[in-house]
Structure 1
Amino acid sequence: MEEVNFGNKQTRSFFLEKSKNLIAVRSHSGKDLASALCCEQAHKAIGDSQLVMHVADADVLVFKVPQASCLSQRKALLRALPDVRFAGSVLVDPLTQDAVLYTENIFLKFIDQLTPTECEITLKELGLTIKQQVPYAANAFFVSHRDHRGTDVCSFTLKLLERNDVDYCHPEMLRQGQRRAIHANQWHLKKTTVTYQVQIDASANVEAAHDLGQGEGIVIAVIDDAFDIDHPEFTGSGKIVAPQNFDRRNAKQGPRPKNTFERHGTAAAGVACANGHVGASGVAPRASLMPLKLTKPLGARAEADAFFWAADNGADIISCSWGPAEGHWADPTDPRHTQDFPLAASTRLAIEYAATKGRDGKGCIIFFGAGNGNESVDKDGYSSHPMVIAVGACNDQSRRSAYSDFGNALWCCFPSGDQPHPDPKFKPATSIPQTRGIRTTDLSGKFSDTGNGAYTELFSGTSSACPGAAGVAALMLGVNPTLNREAVRQLLADCCDKIGHVDDGPLGQYDLNGHSHYYGHGRLNAHRAVRLALQRLEAEG
């Protein structure tokens, strides 16, 4: 059992165990791992195995072998291959058996009182080599130690954390993340009659807000898998700002998708700020888009770099429709529902840098999708961070979407699609289908494979709700750019419609502070949000 601490001395540690049926394989630098494993010897080792995780940027594959296998023999076969650098054990979460990869990188932050020279001397005394001095926190580094490899890095970092001059120390641990999607019909923007000839009045009142502003001059950074920046809804002077690809190997191609599977970011960006010139409008159609491509597992140092890049390159708002793997929304026995997911110190510090230093000190407004597991958002270190706005999903009947996460950290909700109720006896209030998604942008040009003209009506989940809320914030900042992060957060709470249903039970009820576990402060009302922002400007003027 290996102990890991993603925080500081006051943070609770968590424990990982070695898997009995997983093998991690890594190639030598510059060698293609797929080619290295296309031989008879590799087939003997993993021919009957299942690929469960692929970290392309680091050339790491994780295989699940049959239970009765001898792991040591299979590892020996793989290690004998000339292009294989490493074939070893995989740590897993004891509760869920999810793979957790460790790298040779260690995140280390000394106390702020040390001088740069003292940091360098201490690193040298400890035998640590600097791989990156991070720009989003003082005295913070990614380092490595030549004598501490494999699982030994876990105990080594815990020992370093005991030092009085160390604030944070943990290995770079990678977990598989999850995009938070479930699946003229833009019913989420206005009261409208959709294809089904049913009138829907469950929107965020965005169309009315457009009479006051459309996000002019505001930059929304979306961190996601890839972006079709050649899409007609993202054209125009100044629409794309400071694009970046944080996948080291494919950095030169920019944020564009490399295949048809990388379409999540295009849809999310469209919800936030699509132009609305052809087939779909974003909530803030005149806002600019900063597309930041990030496909690495959770916890990678590139994750923190993306937040720093956004803040340092002029982003006003950061939208993240991803997070830890979740339990199945309709299965209450899924062990992931009770799993705590800690936030790596490097990512935490980068988020705090963006939230406090961004926008010339007024702070970037950071949104995360609350999650689609029908579980507590408070166990998710990303969405529950106090400087993050966690966004839930509500459906076309003004009720919580069945999958949407809930809890103390949930701040608000935004219209999105839904799933059929898990109880077959459940009867909705109307005959409206419960699986209607959001109309937004999809892959165009050479990547368009759906025949839908580069648009989709199937985007849903808190993946859609999150950029919708980010768009509302852009409308507010467009009319009142003087608002700081805390002011925007409070006005978002103040603008909400208190939706719900008598069948929601105690979790759906609003407390004396106007907060509900199911809805946060309620469903965002964009028109009211913009009016409140204007009123604040007039009062300060």
Structure 2
Amino acid sequence: MSRTTLSSAALRALSPFEPVVHFREAGVQVIQSREARGGLLRDVARTVLREEPEIAFAGTVLSDPVSGSPVLYTENFFVKFDDGLPASEVMALLGKYGLTLKRELEYARNAYFLSAPEGTGQKVFQIAHELLNEKPVDFCHPELIHKVSHRGVFPQQWHLRKTDIDGRTVDAHANIEAAWALSQGEGVTIAIIDDGVDIDHEEFSGSGKIVAPRDVTRGTDDPRPIGEDNHGTACAGIACAEGRFGACGVAPRARLMPIRLASGLGSQNEADAFIWAADHGADVITCCWGPVEGRWWNPDDPAHQQNIPMPDSTRLAIDYAIRHGRNGKGCVIFWAAGNGREDVDLDGYASYPKVIAVAACNDSGRRSVYSDFGRAIWCSFPSNDFASSPPGPLNPWPNTPGIWTTDRSGAQGYNPGRSTRGDAAGNYTNSFGGTSSASPGAAGVAALVLASNPELRWEQVKDILKQCCDRIDPEGGEYDAQGHSLYYGHGRLNAAAAVQLAHPPQPGRVVVQTAIQDIPIRDLQTARLSVAVADSDPIVAVRIAVDLQHTYIGDLLVTLEPPASTGVSPVVLHSRSGGSMGHLRKTYDAINTPGLSSLEGKNPQGTWTLVVQDQDRLDTGMLRSFSVEWVF
């Protein structure tokens, strides 16, 4: 129902009411009176609304006796008859009560979803009662609909929405709850590479939640924590806890791939973790570890001066995840910027350009005092903080002890079972923080984005995260002319804005031309494959897909030759990178290959040719296919 379709009389009747809940699937809006004489106003409104041609029903709803929340009753029933009752007797009973068979339910024998005649109203309860008293009926109840809680925010989770904690309003969130109306991370897998995850925790117990668990240090498929491994469980909860018991993650419906890494920095196991993640279907990866940091409160700590590079083994493994993860679209990899109040650009891990470095901001919307800074910071996400000494306007006492998230079940973990530290059972902690809290939060936002648009490549997700940021602390953030802050990157992530940006644009006409032919790629020679295009409408966007095999793709220069009539010079797609990799299967567009943007607005009519030049000796291959996709 749209108010624009209602008569002026109906609008006047509705004016004293306010919405309570919208049952979208049923097309029902529940409203309540703002005034004391609500009963009279309700009766008047119901009479007026029943005359509106756009309104099928205007009546009352039930309320839950405990919570008082509205409960919608329909004119439908669930009925299960005795397993041996013949179909003829089933139909006879349905006829006796005037019920219509909507569908048989496959998950129980002789079970049906039924409907009563339109206008039955609250008589459905009497019908259900009488049916239940029939001897061959095992179960029967009317369909009652409560408002679904989509992974609700728990009271202490201020990073997900504006909330009140201990009588104080905290409004420094990443707009997560608002994003859930559009995306909750469905179908996306987040890999947590950390010190172990309590996969038996109640918030990870949903069917299919855990996928491809691994301990790369011990070489087993058991990623559970050992000893004091508390960190990974908290990180996993921030990213994707299901929100059914005590804590909700940013992407509650995302799958969790827990990868335990307890080896030293730079180990081969470190690299293996990324290969495992990419090969087993991770879409997003988050890492909250790195080189030893200086103590943030001591500017003279010599550890601040360390410049720790990323080892090649790890770099190549990350490159592999970028190149091969998500079927070539690339895993989106997040890294905690660090907690030493030092230059992140000296950290070869967090500053690697193919990962996304996440800084921490506090519950007042300012920089967390410990958070690292630098050019590599891409964005920030809410976390805990400490007061400066003495507390001042830039770093006052924080409003909260930190981020509420999952802890190892029971007495193990950060919370030994004290309500001052979380919950009394010890399953949740209220004081997790650092950039170790910020990175999995950002990873959860990326999962929301990819659930909205799975076709995005990793660099497109990274750009969306840049565009969605809210510029917090405009004075202290010292944003440059390009909108980048050394402390916040492009700002604090806004998940709702990110999901909106992720929605795929609605293109006009899309045309794909493909040439499939095995063309040999011989030593020091050139292979060509062409497609002919008849369309003459101006190009809005173009994508080029290449599939070739070669024993050393580092020998190859791959270019696209557009029709001469476009006036565009050949565009280099691949220039002798990749070394000994045996395949090149990749889609190029204006984002990862800016030269293709010069084709926008051009007439595509003519012959398009993919040119593959082998520029070194010994290795050979085969050009399998070449396709061009145009959006007009």
1:298-317 map, 5 Å: 298-317=265-284
Where 1:411 maps in the other structure, the secondary structure is strand
CA shift, 1:426, in A, is 1.9
Partner in structure 1 of residue 570 of structure 2: none
Q: Which residues of 2 match residues 111-190 of structure 1 at below 5 A? A: 184-190=155-161
Comparing both structures, which one devotes a greater share of its residues to helix?
1
Hey, what does 1:480 align to over in structure 2?
A: 453
**1:355, distance to aligned residue in structure 2 (A):** 1.1
**Alignment partner, residue 255 of structure 1:** 223
Question: Structure 1 pair 328/405, CA: closer, same or farther in 2 (3 Å)?
Answer: same
User: What value does the CA root-mean-square deviation take over the aligned residues?
Assistant: 1.6
Matching residue within 283, 289, 292 for 1:325: 292
2:488 is aligned to: 519
The residue type equivalent to 1:481 in the other structure is P
Amino acid at match of 1:490: D
- Following superposition, the deviation at residue 436 of structure 1 comes to 2.4
Q: Residues 373 and 187 (structure 1 numbering): CA distance in 2 closer, same or farther, change over 3 Å?
A: same
Moved over 4 A (4+): none
Sequence identity (%):
58
Counterpart amino acid of residue 484 in structure 1? R
Q: Does 1:221 align with 2:191?
A: yes
What is the DSSP-based 3-state SS (H/G/I as helix, E as strand, rest coil) of the residue aligned with 2:290? strand
User: For the Cα contact (< 8 Å) 2:296–2:339, is it kept in 1?
Assistant: yes
Corresponding position: 1:335 with 2:302: yes
Query: For the residues of structure 2 that align with 1:489 and 1:440, how far apart are their CA atoms?
Result: 25
| Counterpart for residue 167 of structure 2 | 197
Q: 1:439 aligns with which of 387, 392, 404?
A: 404
Asked if the contact 1:399–1:501 (Cα under 8 Å) also holds between the matched residues in 2, the reply is no
CA distance in 2, matches of 1:428, 1:517: 16
C-alpha distance in 1, partners of 2:160/2:492?
12
Amino acid in structure 2 at the alignment position of 1:192: T
Deviations 1:513-540 (A, max 9, x none): 2111011000000000000001x34358
One-letter amino acid matched to 2:447: A
Deviations 1:50-83, CA, capped at 9 Å, x for gaps? xxxxxxxxxxxxxxxxxxxxxxxxxxxxxxxxxx
Taking the aligned partners of 1:425 and 1:322, their CA distance within structure 2 comes to: 29
Quote the Cα distance in structure 2 between the aligned partners of 1:374 and 1:270.
25
The alignment status of 1:236 with 2:206, answered yes or no, reads yes
- 1:426 aligned onto 2:392: yes
Q: Could you tell me which amino acid in structure 1 is paired with residue 401 of structure 2?
A: R
The amino acid across from 1:198 in the alignment is R
CA distance in 1, matches of 2:250, 2:438: 11
Between the aligned partners of 2:481 and 2:507, the Cα distance in structure 1 is 27
Deviations 1:115-166 (A, max 9, x none): xxxxxxxxxxxxxxxxxxxxxxxxxxxxxxxxxxxxxxxxxxxxxxxxxxxx
User: Residues of 1 paired with 2:171 and 2:321: CA distance?
Assistant: 36
Classify the secondary structure of the residue corresponding to 1:322.
Answer: coil
Within the alignment, does 1:471 sit opposite 2:444 as a pair? yes
**In 2, Cα distance between equivalents of 1:334 and 1:396:** 27
Unaligned runs of 5+ in 2: 1-154, 418-422, 511-632
- Give me the whole-angstrom Cα distance separating, in 2, the residues matched to 1:424 and 1:537: 51
CA distance in structure 2 between the partners assigned to 1:432 and 1:447 by the alignment: 28
One-letter amino acid matched to 1:186? Q
**Amino acid across the alignment from 2:435:** T
Distance (whole Å) between structure 2 residues aligned to residue 511 and residue 216 of structure 1: 36
**Inter-partner Cα distance in structure 2 for 1:496 and 1:433:** 23
Higher relative contact order (CA 8 A, sep 6+): 1
**Pairing partner for 1:495 from 458, 463, 468:** 468
2-side partners of 1:497 and 1:264: how far apart?
28
CA offsets, 1:160-185, max 9 Å, x none?
Answer: xxxxxxxxxxxxxxxxxxxxxxxx21
What does the per-residue CA deviation read over 1:400-436, in whole Å, with 9 as the maximum and x for residues that have no partner? Answer: 1000001000000000000121x4162458x763562
- Which range moved further: 431-440 or 345-354? 431-440
Structure 1 CA distance for aligned equivalents of residues 369 and 507 of structure 2: 40
Deviation string, structure 1 residues 328-368 (Cα, Å, up to 9, x no partner)? 11111111112100111100000111012110000000000
SS at match of 2:321: helix
Aligned-residue offset at 1:237: 1.5
In the aligned structure 2, how far is the partner of 1:240 from the partner of 1:411?
29
Q: Quote how far apart the aligned CAs of 1:490 are.
A: 0.3
Which digits, 9 at most, give the CA deviation of each residue in 1:237-274, with x for residues without a partner? 210000000122xx447101123x11100000000000
Residue 239 of structure 2 aligns to a residue whose secondary structure is: helix
* 8 Å CA contact 1:495, 1:526 repeated in 2: yes
Specify the alignment match of 2:362 in structure 1. 395
- 1:245 counterpart letter in structure 2: D
1:528 alignment partner AA? A
Q: CA, structure 1 residues 233+354, in 2 after alignment: closer, same or farther (shift >3 Å)? A: same
Q: Is 1:265–2:235 an aligned residue pair?
A: no
User: Which residue does the alignment assign to 2:65?
Assistant: none
Aligned-partner Cα distance in 2 for 1:253–1:212 = 34
Give the number of aligned pairs.
Answer: 347
User: Where does residue 297 of structure 1 map in the other structure?
Assistant: 264
Rate the CA distance shift 1:199–1:305 in 2: closer, same or farther, 3 A: same
CA contact (8 A) 2:360 2:382 kept: yes
Structure 1 residues 529 and 539: alpha-carbon distance in aligned structure 2, compared to 1, 3 A threshold? farther
Letter in 1 for 2:456: L
Indicate whether 1:533 and 2:537 are aligned: no
What residue identity is the alignment partner of 1:513?
Answer: Q
2:284 aligned partner, one-letter code: I
The reply to whether residue 382 of structure 1 matches residue 349 of structure 2 is yes
CA contact (8 A) 2:213 2:221 kept: no
Residue aligning to 2:255: 288
Q: Structure 1 stretches of 5 or more lacking a match?
A: 1-183
Alignment partner of 1:223: what SS? strand
One-letter amino acid of the structure 2 residue matched with residue 220 of structure 1:
I
Q: 1:447 offset after TM fit, Å?
A: 3.7
